[in-house]
Amino acid sequence: MSAAVQIATRVSPQIKDQATRVFSRYGLDMASALRMFVTMAANERKLPLTIDDSLDEVPNDDLAAAIEEGNAIIDGRIKRKGYRSVDELFEALGV
């Protein structure tokens, strides 16, 4: 295999942030996602994507933050008290 080359491009900070959130939902970082895209384009000799205008599926900033917080709790990066039942949760909330 020949030596890898570096490809650089410029995008707005907003596009980078939105793309980073999308890629992270699939467990990818920016470099891995772009490498995958370029590799697939080369192998398939076409753009490896489907154009879809259903933007309703992209979470807004609040939902994206909640998803990230949930993932951080699952991964153990954030510690939260757990409850064994809904009743136990309601009792802790005073409901």
pTM over 0.75, yes/no: no
Q: What is the pLDDT along the chain (95 residues), one digit of tens a residue?
A: 678 899 999 999 999 999 999 999 999 999 999 999 999 999 999 888 876 666 566 778 888 899 899 889 888 898 888 888 999 999 999 98
Spatial distance between the Cα atoms of 71 and 66, rounded to a whole number of angstroms: 9
Spatial distance between the Cα atoms of 73 and 81, rounded to a whole number of angstroms: 10
Query: What phi and psi values does residue 86 have, to the nearest 5 degrees?
Result: -65, -40
